[in-house]
Structure 1
Amino acid sequence: MRTVRQLLDTKSPEIHSISPDAPVIDAVRTMAERRIGALLVMDGPRLAGILSERDYARKIVLQGRSSKDTPVRDIMTVDVVCVGPHDSTDKCMQLVTDTRIRHLPVVEDGTVIGVVSIGDLVKAVIEEQRQELDHLQRYIAS
């Protein structure tokens, strides 16, 4: 079973974030340019929240607000579900399933060290299953 640390080791170390005071349009632009579904909202070194495409759709589009005039802090999710580098991919899959979220910031000693997405987790689970299947096929064949 893989750990979050092992998952992060296979990804780019870049962490995409935005200030809570930035206009929402800047966040949406960054997500589009980076082809990502969420940005961490950082107040200096502190994780202040997370902003996802879902937040944008529900709190800007459906409420008829202006993405140019609304600061990120007004629509970000404040109660961020985080994991640690030693947590297992199974635990993370359970978390994203139970909480219906798609992105998990990874925090170690109070510092954000990465983000794991549901796509990263699914990819890891598929790879683990593929390795197990290969192992079983070799065992049966021998």
Structure 2
Amino acid sequence: MIFPFQLSDEPIMTSVADILKSKPQAVVHTTTPSTTVFDAVKLMAEKGIGALLVTEGEQLVGIVTERDYARKVALMSRSSRETPVRDIMTADVMFVRPDQTSSECMALMTENRLRHLPVMADGKLLGLISIGDLVKDIISEQRFIIEQLEHYITGERA
């Protein structure tokens, strides 16, 4: 019998491009540095998201998250209606390329305690992946491997 997939020390990994294609909505929500924190948090609440990329024109200049709000506005007794996003955003944004693997992204997110990673190619923003996207991908890969092993054990063809 031919084994349906090759076993190796390296797990099967999806590329960031594949993860972006599998997302039901490819919309990346953005804001500007001059937007008030109140308006940015309001947009996050309306869209059910935890982060906004901060752009000036086509240029990515930062990321603002619910964590930024909690730590840099609420706990510092700032006014969200008066504070601009530029005052609380993270300007040095880590990003990934579309050819990188879910495993590389997971390692980067875990090591740097990130929940969101912009996807960039040639200086252009292509999308945004979250820790939830990666977990969903890993679960899907594990489900596939389990099904293949069950077919192998029972002698059924997939």
TM-score, structure 2 as length reference: 0.89
Partner of residue 128, structure 2: 115
Partner of residue 4, structure 1: 16
CA shift digits 1:1-42 (9 cap, x unpaired): 110000000121211000001100010000000000000000
Distance 1:121 1:48 in 2: 24
Partner of residue 97, structure 2: 84
Distance 2:139 2:22 in 1: 15
Aligned with residue 44 of structure 1, among 25, 34, 57: 57
What is the Cα deviation at residue 140 of structure 1?
1.0
The alignment yields a C-alpha RMSD, in angstroms, of 0.6
Q: Does 1:53 align with 2:61?
A: no
Q: Which sections of structure 1, spanning at least 5 residues, go unmatched? A: none
Larger-gyration structure (1/2):
2
Partner of residue 33, structure 2: 20
Distance 1:126 1:13 in 2: 21
Distance 1:19 1:29 in 2: 14
Distance 2:74 2:33 in 1: 19
What is the Cα deviation at residue 100 of structure 1?
0.4
Q: Does 1:136 align with 2:149?
A: yes
Partner of residue 125, structure 1: 138
Give the number of aligned pairs. 142
Name the amino acid aligned to 1:40.
Answer: L
Name the amino acid aligned to 1:93.
Answer: M
What is the Cα deviation at residue 79 of structure 1?
1.1
Detail structure 1 runs of 4+ shifted over 4 Å in the superposition: none
Distance 1:67 1:9 in 2: 35
Q: Which sections of structure 2, spanning at least 5 residues, go unmatched? A: 1-12
What is the Cα deviation at residue 47 of structure 1?
0.4
Aligned with residue 31 of structure 1, among 44, 50, 54: 44
